[in-house]
């Protein structure tokens, strides 16, 4: 069973990876786990690469930053290029299908139509981050965070009028893994 | 006129897809595709210069033409 | 806190406002600056809800001035800033010290000097917090290392400010200010709140700057009927300026002593794995968390390493550091600067054991590995 | 109430005589402020006088109100904190030309912009008196100061224009010589619910007078007497304003006040 | 010279694209400044661009002149040092509404008072862009910012009024939409031997636009198009100015310049 | 110096201007404040006579900014202030540090904190001089103790500023600033003048912040054809902002090292009666003169007492203080504050011998008698 | 009138001898002696109040008289 | 012969005691002696007591303030009251005749019509300080400072148009002692 997961969610500024990270951290708390969420800003982050980290752990979390990156999400080529080196060799990489990835790598790779799912299924690229939450949830499995907690965390953190859309996005994300 | 017509250049690297040139082009020469400006109907361009005047990123401009004009 | 559950995932900066409100903050004046801006933003949102006042001033000089005014008018007051703004606040911070105005100044440290690295963590203002304004003066500064602590020590910061009639600095760093973690709210009944001591005498008997035995003069609010005078000039017990050398010397000495001699009352610190520690890391704020992880690792390889973490970073915890030096064979001071707290540790502990530096000014948190390597003689 | 009773009632008589030089205009101007407060019948416990640093800024120490002597140039920022925290207080700032318009210029224009209900009285003696006679932003071009040994090459601030441009709702100029008129301007200024500014032309015989060969305090009073003209007169006969200093009410145009605007926000949550 | 050559000649092209968000008005305004400099044929080695801190203040970094990015609000004080030390330089300050009028207000009014030959271009987007959308002194009352969650209760600065009241000799307002007119105003401003101020209404779709539901960059341009009217028109038909933003030349009234006045003093000793 | 005799009775503040002019000062921006105002007044008078520029700015923030501008435009620049103004200059002082702009800041110390005792001597800004601005940064500060030294060390201050491209602080005190003593002018041919290193490359090859071997980048003046960019953000060799962590760390480290590693090149100090001293007094500025008189008296009664007087107060003279500690049985640090330089002496020397404080914050110079009594165990 | 006439009081401690009251007294009631104001001709005083109005030091003032006046 | 003299000149602000002190220090330098001159200002010095000190010495002057006050000049009662306590028991007190002094004192007392001499002989109280210089010179005698040096020092330090008046004042001062 899991003891600690260190995730890094990356994309371009405005794709909402920070919110995705917050949703995980939030849900983890509700499930009685420890969680910490951080991000790196740049003064030039507008449009540039954006990064958010979440650590979820059964133990107290001391050092708050990712050391052993278990899961890396990259929604853009830029962010993949920037952060791939730090992914743990036993880790998991999740990228949008538009990203070119290296072959012959030790870690597991999921290349998925995240952005297009958001646009095609929900009608807006704005929910790509929540599709990603679904994807990551499905990959991690129930063992880490409860699906209901995650859903209620989504509902609490997105603008009220968009809750329904986002829950659908979440479910579409799950489908990308579970079919 | 034709011989003096300037040609429209788009620097894709610089374009941030803000839509301003597109919206203010009197002849609907430009379009937004994949978050970037595209010169969709170059022949319709009347060289009015509104696009280059308002582009915040110097990404679109007219070159050539009669210098005296 | 109207939500039923008593915890929440929030940022350090937000926890700071929650702590301030719990302590009774009713006035905030500030000027935006990364990475402290959320403190102002959340104050702007929450203060009117509790009948409090927010004001965005024209700059940090004015912000510091306005909270002194707010405090004199009787409201518990706070401002928040980062490096460049903290430099600008120094003159009026000294005013708050000499005029004995309770207030809290939050400094969420970022990379310096000058504009530096606005969005990156650093701990470059440890010495400035103590020495940034001209002339000798008292300063209390606290350094939380988590969201929970930010909440709790902001309450304590207000309490110390009110009790000792002095400005108190919450010396945070970007790491702590911007991380999101669980904050468990305290029940109001569990929170100790200290309010400034008020005069009990009649208005015409009030000597605004006559200290009681505890070195602290009672403080009336403007408008309460005690008409008195406040000045940044050296003054006597009445609060009026004096050039009398003896009185002047006594004033400055009292101001500094009311903090320095009461260090035991405000000596907050944490000891981690210290029982048998032979190597001691001294770290605070964000870096102390790296240190803990490093210690966990080092302990696995059999090294007897412990952490002494000052939460009260000023006044200096001389007694505690001296005790650490008694026990340690080696001390490392790890800071996101080129060595600041180090100087005081070296002064106190250096007489008893070697004190070494672990520094970093790249705009990143020191990693556990860097500490491990340093302790293992890697550098 | 006669002048003697006024002194007894409003001054901290044990602090007198004040540190001002013989003939310094600040004393006369301060009396006009005291009489205005008396005329308005303000409760002493609800009056708060705030100043910065300078000869003029020593004024609050002599007055029996809630008094605050702050740092150089910052009086209005402190005062803003006080007024916002407790809008029941009548907050009056006494400042100098240097304090208000050199180092303190930013707080002056922002208090004016906010239209916060603070009355600012600037004792303008065209010089930095406290530090010994350096030229100030209001020193006339060509005049001398210790830092203008060859005559001031700077242009001169018109403080009334400045604060009006910044948004003040009451702006006036009086002088130490025209003490009764000055008193009325201060009464009107305090009565204005919003940011009010009264420039009081003062005189510093010790530095400005001596450096510029303007004679003693009496001569300087006579200068004010001979060279000032009321705005109302000039409005009718503009030619009379030539080479004169215009005094009187410059601007009086109330608009919503800062703390009242803010109260609306608070009140939303108080139901 | 066409726009492409202009970019090559005056921009540090290796630093492009600039950090500004898509549609940010600062880029358009910066181009007007560059074209004005080109029109005047200034020698690049003799042009010095100074800024403070903010999105707008990032401008100098993109320009191939002597460029100085200083501390927040202080650009004009640095610029004053440069101009006084070397009056041969054409000193242009590019600043934001926050930089120029909040923290930097005092330097603004004093540079104006001195009438020192510096041209200040203020990219006014009614918000603190760089720090993420707090309201600024120019944010209209009632509008939202992250620090004005219930609507801004402050009054709004009219920067042109302010600097005119302070003594500037050339004052104008243009917009990013009216780019050609803006260019001319900048040409006139630089040509004025004295302190010139041009407020360029910019737009921040990212923060001001989003917070205030003003739509995207295009919508915000349309707003400028629809809501501005030239001073010349209003001067003739005042009723047309109602509820409009007045643009164009506000004030143009040369008077002796600071460094030239000082030169007279130096020259006394050079014989 | 057009007068025939080469000496004159003048005040310390005036000597400071004479030194600055001798060093080539051509630009002064300031704002009056007691007890430094004469520096501005005399500069206003003398600069135009040599074709230089004086400007009275609206405040001290602007003054500090203006001298940076003046220096960038190629003129050797200075400002002068006292405590409150020094606090206000801190933000832009940090800018001068990171942007590497040569300039001289005179701080004539008076009683603090806040407005304090404006006309009285103090030494309350020893620590502020080093730590007053946010973030790690280099600082050089010199403390003359006589009118003659004020002249000579102001020249050296300009030389160090120019050589190391860094702000240099003349940390005077009111005693020295206002006393009148004999100043003997030096013949211009005897005065060593150092000018900033200029680029020798072509303009398009100029990397404005690429340091030579000596850690110092050559500096072009604005207007000379080298169009370059200057920023207070962390920057790379080109002078443009960067967030690269490695480059950021290297920049700050280089800035601090160019001063700290060159301490031997700027280590000015005086030893008085040190040959056989067993008790050593460490004092600087006005107080060092009291110490000398005290030592003369103590020697009469057979006590082997000597004085170590740092003139360079920052960077810290570690090597020299360590040597003193080797020799001394006891060290006294005498300062007109509540203990500031003491902390660094105690850190360095305290490992080898006891270090004690002699302090005074009454607004008066420490007297020889007070030192004598302290050394004799009187307190 | 006589019964309502106020009397003139000089607070010598406060007077700094600036000469202002003396110069502006329309009836030359006052004189400067040893750097202090002196009420040389009290009977000439017409209670105009100019002296008290302009004294920077509250050193001279009228007391008594008819309160209603 | 003299080795060192420590003088304190006091009066009210505006009486010019600082200038008097400067003149002594100036002259001492010209005569090849060491000299140091200091004063105490108060923010409230306007009209209050003003104090200037001069130390003249054949040796280097280290501590710059008066310790053993050899000569005290007090032109006003206030300044006499304030500084008399510090006068050395073997010292010399010079006061204006208007000052009430204690009797039975160890130091030597000169009570002289300094102010009235200035007014009566020169026609202005402004030169009382220079009358004092004459008095003090005459008391100290040639052994300390040369009369010509002192005169040229006066000439250099007073406004050019007042040189003659001041030299006369100086001489009147000498006469007060030498008759
Ligand atoms: C930060 C700071 N800078 C400078 C000073 C010195 N200072 C004190 S008062 C003053 C000028 C006062 O001029 P003004 O406000 O015109 O008042 P006045 O003395 O003329 O009445 C100055 C420059 C100070 N106290 N603090
Ligand atoms: C002393 C100081 N205070 C605050 C800041 C933070 N800060 C940076 S830019 C800025 C506001 C910029 O607003 P504006 O000038 O309007 O420029 P914009 O970004 O809107 O173009 C602030 C508050 C700072 N860098 N320094
Ligand atoms: S030049 Fe005019 S017509 Fe041509 S693309 Fe640009 S805006 Fe359209
Ligand atoms: S205006 Fe410029 S940046 Fe915007 S879409 Fe057009 S070309 Fe692109
Ligand atoms: S110096 Fe001038 S302003 Fe100050 S008290 Fe004297 S006369 Fe008044
Ligand atoms: S935040 Fe606003 S002002 Fe800044 S670059 Fe983006 S759009 Fe422009
Ligand atoms: S009241 Fe009038 S008449 Fe009487 S003394 Fe005063 S000024 Fe003179
Ligand atoms: S006006 Fe006042 S202070 Fe002046 S002489 Fe008359 S009574 Fe004295
Ligand atoms: Mg003044
Ligand atoms: Mg803006």
Has residue C1 got a pLDDT over 70?
A: no
Distance, in Å, from the CA atom of H121 to the CA atom of H132, rounded to the nearest integer, reads 14
Task: Tell me, using a 6 A CB cutoff, whether residue C84 lines ligand 2.
Answer: yes
- Give the pLDDT band of residue A45 (cuts 50, 70, 90): very low
F290 touching chain H per CB within 8 A: yes
Distance, in Å, from the CA atom of D228 to the CA atom of F125, rounded to the nearest integer, reads 47
Distance, in Å, from the CA atom of F103 to the CA atom of F94, rounded to the nearest integer, reads 12
Distance, in Å, from the CA atom of E255 to the CA atom of F221, rounded to the nearest integer, reads 30
D134 touching chain F per CB within 8 A: yes
Contact E11, B42 (CB under 8 A): no
First to last CA, chain D: 45
* H-chain residue closest to D20, CA distance: H46
Mean pLDDT score, C144-162: 98
Domain count of the fold of chain F? 2
* B-chain residue closest to E216, CA distance: B18
pLDDT tens digit sequence for F91-129: 999 999 999 999 999 999 999 999 999 999 999 999 999
Residue whose Cα lies nearest atom 6 of ligand 1: it is F33
Contact F206, C325 (CB under 8 A): no
* Nearest Cα to Cα of residue A170 among A143, A145, A133, A138: A133
* Nearest Cα to Cα of residue D199 among D145, D136, D241: D136
Q: What angle do CA H129, H134, H136 make, to 5 degrees?
A: 90
- Domain carrying residue F327: 268-375
pLDDT at res. A44: 46
User: Cis before residue C315, ω within 30 degrees of 0?
Assistant: yes
Q: Are residues F33 and F106 in the same domain?
A: yes
Has residue B63 got a pLDDT over 50?
A: yes
What is the number of other CB atoms lying within 10 angstroms of the CB of residue B27? 13
Ligand 8 centre to CA of E103 (Å) is 44
User: Quick check: C128 and F124 CB within 8 A?
Assistant: no
E5-22 as b/e: b if 16+ CB within 10 A:
ebbeebbbeebbbbbbbb
User: Quick check: G20 and D221 CB within 8 A?
Assistant: yes
Ligand 5 centre to CA of D183 (Å) is 21
How many Å separate Cα E247 from the centre of its chain?
13
Q: Which atom of ligand 3 is nearest to the CA of B49?
A: 1
pLDDT tens digit sequence for C5-35: 899 999 999 999 999 999 999 999 999 999 9
Domain count of the fold of chain E? 1
Contact F243, F339 (CB under 8 A): no
Q: Are residues F170 and F233 in the same domain?
A: yes
CATH number, domain containing residue F179: 3.40.50.970
Mean pLDDT of chain C: 97
Q: Are residues C70 and C147 in the same domain?
A: yes
Q: How far is F105 from chain H (nearest CA, A)?
A: 24
pLDDT tens digit sequence for A99-126: 999 999 999 999 999 999 999 999 999 9
- For F258-319, the DSSP string reads HHHTTGGGG--EEEES-TT-SEEEE--HHHHHHHHHHHHHHHHTT--EEEEEESEEES--HH
Tokens of H83: 């500084």
Q: Which of F214, F231, F266 is the last residue of a domain?
A: F266
Q: How far is E252 from chain F (nearest CA, A)?
A: 25
Tokens of F332: 């006294």
pLDDT tens digit sequence for E225-236: 999 999 999 999
Distant-in-sequence, close-in-space partners of F304: CB < 8 Å, separation ≥ 6: F276, F277, F278, F279
Task: Tell me, using a 6 A CB cutoff, whether residue B29 lines ligand 4.
Answer: no
- Give the pLDDT band of residue H14 (cuts 50, 70, 90): confident
Q: How far is E21 from chain B (nearest CA, A)?
A: 8
User: Cis before residue E17, ω within 30 degrees of 0?
Assistant: yes
Distant-in-sequence, close-in-space partners of G34: CB < 8 Å, separation ≥ 6: none
Has residue A1 got a pLDDT over 70?
A: no
Task: Tell me, using a 6 A CB cutoff, whether residue E23 lines ligand 2.
Answer: no
Mean pLDDT score, D22-45: 98
Name residue, tokens 């949550």: D269
Q: Are residues F43 and F75 in the same domain?
A: yes
CATH number, domain containing residue H149: 3.40.920.10
E226: buried, middle or exposed (CB in 10 Å: 19+, 13-18, 0-12)?
exposed
Task: Tell me, using a 6 A CB cutoff, whether residue E21 lines ligand 6.
Answer: yes
Distance, in Å, from the CA atom of F254 to the CA atom of A24, rounded to the nearest integer, reads 42
pLDDT tens digit sequence for C290-314: 999 999 999 999 999 999 999 999 9
Distance, in Å, from the CA atom of E92 to the CA atom of F213, rounded to the nearest integer, reads 35
Contact A95, A108 (CB under 8 A): no
On whether ipTM exceeds 0.95, the answer is yes
Starting from the CA of residue B44, give the closest ligand: 3
- Give the pLDDT band of residue E270 (cuts 50, 70, 90): confident
pLDDT tens digit sequence for F164-194: 999 999 999 999 999 999 999 999 999 999 9
E199-217 as b/e: b if 16+ CB within 10 A:
bbbbbbbbbbbebbebebb
Ligand 6 centre to CA of E55 (Å) is 6
Tokens of G58: 């509250």
Binding-face residues of E in 85-114 toward D, CB within 8 A: 102-106, 109-110, 113-114
Residue whose Cα lies nearest atom 8 of ligand 6: it is E24
User: Cis before residue F315, ω within 30 degrees of 0?
Assistant: yes
Distance, in Å, from the CA atom of C8 to the CA atom of C185, rounded to the nearest integer, reads 8
Distance, in Å, from the CA atom of D221 to the CA atom of G18, rounded to the nearest integer, reads 12
Binding-face residues of E in 60-79 toward C, CB within 8 A: 71-73
Task: Tell me, using a 6 A CB cutoff, whether residue B38 lines ligand 3.
Answer: no
Domain count of the fold of chain A? 1
The fraction of chain A above a pLDDT of 70, given in percent, is 95
- Give the pLDDT band of residue H12 (cuts 50, 70, 90): confident
Name residue, tokens 């705005």: D231
Mean pLDDT score, H139-145: 90
Return left, alpha or beta for F140; rule: phi > 0 is left, psi -120 to 50 is alpha, else beta: beta
Residue to substitute from E104, E131, E135, E136, interface C, most C β-carbons within 10 A: E131
pLDDT at res. H45: 42
Distant-in-sequence, close-in-space partners of D198: CB < 8 Å, separation ≥ 6: D119, D120, D121, D122, D171, D172, D173, D174, D182, D185, D186, D189
- Domain carrying residue H21: 4-178
Q: Looking at the partner chain, which of F37, F58, F60 has a beta carbon nearest the beta carbon of D134?
A: F37
Q: Are residues F38 and F142 in the same domain?
A: yes
Starting from the CA of residue G10, give the closest ligand: 8
Q: How many CB pairs under 8 A join E and F?
A: 140
Residue whose Cα lies nearest atom 5 of ligand 4: it is B17
CATH number, domain containing residue E78: 3.40.50.970
User: Quick check: B56 and E26 CB within 8 A?
Assistant: yes
D68 touching chain G per CB within 8 A: no
Ligand 6 centre to CA of F92 (Å) is 26
CATH number, domain containing residue C272: 3.40.50.920
D188 touching chain C per CB within 8 A: no
Mean pLDDT score, H78-89: 94
pLDDT at res. A13: 79
Q: Which of F266, F287, F311 is the last residue of a domain?
A: F266
Distance, in Å, from the CA atom of H46 to the CA atom of A33, rounded to the nearest integer, reads 72
Mean pLDDT of chain A: 93
The 3-state DSSP class for residue E230 equals strand
pLDDT at res. G69: 41
pLDDT tens digit sequence for G34-65: 889 999 999 999 999 999 999 999 999 999 87
Residues of C in contact with H43 (CB under 8 A): 233, 241, 243
pLDDT at res. A14: 80
β-partners of residue D11 are D63
CB-based pocket (< 6 A), ligand 8: G 15-21, 37, 55, 57, 59-60
Distant-in-sequence, close-in-space partners of D251: CB < 8 Å, separation ≥ 6: D160, D164, D168, D169, D170, D171, D172
Binding-face residues of E in 90-149 toward B, CB within 8 A: none
- Give the pLDDT band of residue D1 (cuts 50, 70, 90): confident
F353 touching chain C per CB within 8 A: no
Q: Which atom of ligand 2 is nearest to the CA of E52?
A: 15
F139-152 as b/e: b if 16+ CB within 10 A:
bbbbbbbbbbbbbb
* Nearest Cα to Cα of residue C371 among C309, C275, C281: C281
The fraction of chain D above a pLDDT of 70, given in percent, is 100
pLDDT tens digit sequence for C237-269: 999 999 999 999 999 999 999 999 999 999 999
The 3-state DSSP class for residue B15 equals coil
- Residues lining ion ligand 9 (Cβ < 5 A) are D 96-97, 125, 129
Residue whose Cα lies nearest atom 1 of ligand 6: it is E129
Starting from the CA of residue G28, give the closest ligand: 7
Distance, in Å, from the CA atom of C227 to the CA atom of D48, rounded to the nearest integer, reads 9
Considering just the CA atoms, what is the radius of gyration of chain C in Å? 21
The secondary element (H helix, E strand) that includes residue H96 is strand H87-96
Q: Which of F247, F266, F285 is the last residue of a domain?
A: F266
Mean pLDDT score, C343-372: 98
β-partners of residue E124 are E201
- For C169-207, the DSSP string reads EEEEEHHHHH-EEEEEPPPGGG-----PPPP-S-GGG--
Dihedral through CA C127, CA C128, CA C131, CA C135, nearest 10? Answer: 170
Pairing type for strands E127-128 and F305-310 reads: unpaired
pLDDT at res. B3: 56
User: Quick check: F130 and C132 CB within 8 A?
Assistant: no
- Domain carrying residue E100: 5-269
Task: Tell me, using a 6 A CB cutoff, whether residue B59 lines ligand 3.
Answer: no
Please give the domain boundaries of chain B with CATH numbers for all domains: 7-63 (3.30.70.20)
């Amino acid at each position: 069973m899991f003891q600690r997961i260190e995730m890094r969610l990356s994309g371009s500024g405005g794709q909402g990876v920070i919110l995705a990270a917050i949703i995980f951290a939030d849900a983890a708390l509700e499930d009685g786990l420890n969680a910490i969420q951080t991000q790196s800003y740049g003064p030039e982050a507008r449009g540039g690469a954006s990064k958010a980290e979440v650590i979820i752990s059964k133990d107290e979390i001391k050092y708050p930053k990712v050391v052993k990156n278990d899961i890396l999400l990259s929604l853009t080529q830029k962010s993949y290029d920037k952060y791939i080196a730090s992914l743990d060799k036993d880790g998991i990489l999740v990228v949008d299908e538009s990203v070119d990835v290296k072959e012959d790598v030790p870690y597991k790779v999921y290349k998925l139509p995240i952005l297009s799912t958001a646009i095609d299924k929900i009608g807006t690229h704005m929910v790509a981050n929540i599709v990603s939450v679904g994807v990551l949830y499905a990959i991690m499995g129930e063992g880490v965070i409860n699906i209901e907690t995650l859903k209620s965390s989504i509902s609490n953190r997105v603008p009220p009028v968009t809750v329904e859309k986002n829950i659908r996005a979440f479910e579409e994300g799950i489908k990308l893994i579970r079919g | 006129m034709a011989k003096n017509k300037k040609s429209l250049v788009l620097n894709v690297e610089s374009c941030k897809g803000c839509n301003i040139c597109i919206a203010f082009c009197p002849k609907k020469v430009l379009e937004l595709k994949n978050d970037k400006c595209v010169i969709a109907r170059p022949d319709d361009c009347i060289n009015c210069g509104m696009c280059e005047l308002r582009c915040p990123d110097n990404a679109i401009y007219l070159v050539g033409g009669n210098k005296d004009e | 806190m109207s939500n039923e559950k008593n915890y929440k995932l929030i940022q350090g900066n937000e926890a700071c406002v929650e702590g301030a409100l719990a302590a009774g903050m009713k006035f905030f004046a500030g000027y935006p600056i990364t990475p402290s801006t959320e403190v102002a933003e959340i104050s702007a949102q929450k203060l009117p809800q509790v009948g409090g006042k927010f004001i965005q001033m024209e700059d940090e000089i004015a912000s510091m001035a306005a909270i002194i005014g707010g405090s004199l008018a009787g409201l518990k007051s706070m401002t928040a800033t980062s490096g460049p703004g903290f430099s600008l606040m120094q003159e009026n911070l000294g005013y708050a010290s000499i005029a004995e105005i309770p207030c809290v100044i939050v400094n969420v440290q970022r990379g310096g000097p000058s504009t530096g690295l606005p969005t990156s963590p650093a701990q470059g203002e440890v010495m400035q917090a103590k020495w940034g304004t001209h002339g000798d003066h008292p300063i209390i500064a606290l350094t939380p290392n988590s969201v929970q602590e930010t909440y709790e020590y902001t309450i304590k910061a207000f309490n110390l400010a009110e009790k000792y009639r002095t400005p108190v600095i919450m010396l945070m760093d970007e790491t702590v200010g911007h991380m999101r973690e669980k904050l468990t709210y305290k029940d109001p009944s569990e929170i100790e709140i200290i309010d400034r001591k008020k005069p009990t005498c009649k208005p015409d008997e009030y000597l605004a700057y006559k200290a009681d035995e505890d070195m602290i003069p009672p403080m009336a609010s403007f408008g309460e009927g005690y008409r008195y005078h406040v000045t940044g000039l050296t003054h006597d017990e009445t609060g009026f300026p004096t050039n009398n050398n003896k009185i002047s010397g006594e004033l400055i000495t009292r101001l500094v002593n009311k903090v320095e001699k009461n260090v035991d009352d405000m000596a907050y610190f944490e000891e981690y794995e210290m029982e048998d520690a032979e190597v001691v890391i001294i770290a605070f704020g964000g870096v102390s968390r790296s240190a803990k992880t490093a210690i966990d690792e080092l302990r696995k390889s059999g090294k007897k390493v412990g952490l002494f973490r000052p939460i009260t970073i000023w006044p200096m915890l001389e007694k505690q550091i001296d005790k650490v030096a008694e026990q340690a064979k080696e001390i490392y001071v790890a800071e996101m600067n080129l060595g600041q707290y180090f100087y005081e540790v070296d002064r106190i502990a250096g007489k008893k054991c070697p004190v070494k530096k672990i520094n970093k000014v790249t705009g990143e948190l020191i990693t556990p590995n860097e500490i491990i390597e340093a302790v293992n003689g890697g550098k | 109430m006669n002048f003697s009773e006024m002194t007894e009632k409003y001054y901290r008589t044990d602090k007198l005589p004040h540190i001002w030089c013989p003939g310094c205009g600040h004393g006369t101007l301060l009396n006009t402020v005291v009489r205005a407060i008396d005329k308005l019948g303000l409760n002493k416990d609800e009056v708060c006088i705030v100043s910065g640093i300078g000869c003029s800024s020593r004024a609050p120490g002599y007055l029996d109100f809630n008094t605050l002597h702050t740092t150089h140039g910052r009086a209005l920022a402190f005062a803003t904190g006080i007024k916002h925290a407790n809008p029941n207080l009548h907050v009056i700032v006494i400042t100098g030309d240097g304090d208000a318009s050199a180092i303190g210029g930013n707080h002056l224009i922002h208090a004016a912009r906010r239209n916060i209900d603070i009355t600012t009285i600037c004792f303008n003696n065209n010089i930095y008196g406290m530090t010994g006679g350096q030229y100030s932003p209001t020193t006339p071009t060509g005049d001398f100061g210790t830092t203008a040994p060859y005559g001031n090459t700077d242009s001169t601030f018109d403080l009334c224009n400045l604060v009006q441009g910044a948004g003040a709702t009451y702006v006036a100029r009086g002088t130490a010589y025209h003490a009764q008129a000055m008193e009325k301007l201060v009464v009107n200024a305090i009565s204005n619910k919003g940011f009010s500014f009264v420039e009081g032309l003062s005189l510093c015989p010790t530095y400005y007078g001596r450096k510029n060969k303007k004679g003693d305090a009496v001569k300087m009073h006579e200068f004010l007497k001979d060279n000032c003209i009321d705005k109302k007169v000039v409005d009718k006969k503009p030619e009379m304003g030539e080479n004169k200093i215009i005094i009187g009410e410059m601007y009086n145009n109330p608009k919503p006040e800062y703390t009242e605007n803010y109260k609306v926000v608070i009140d939303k949550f108080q139901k």
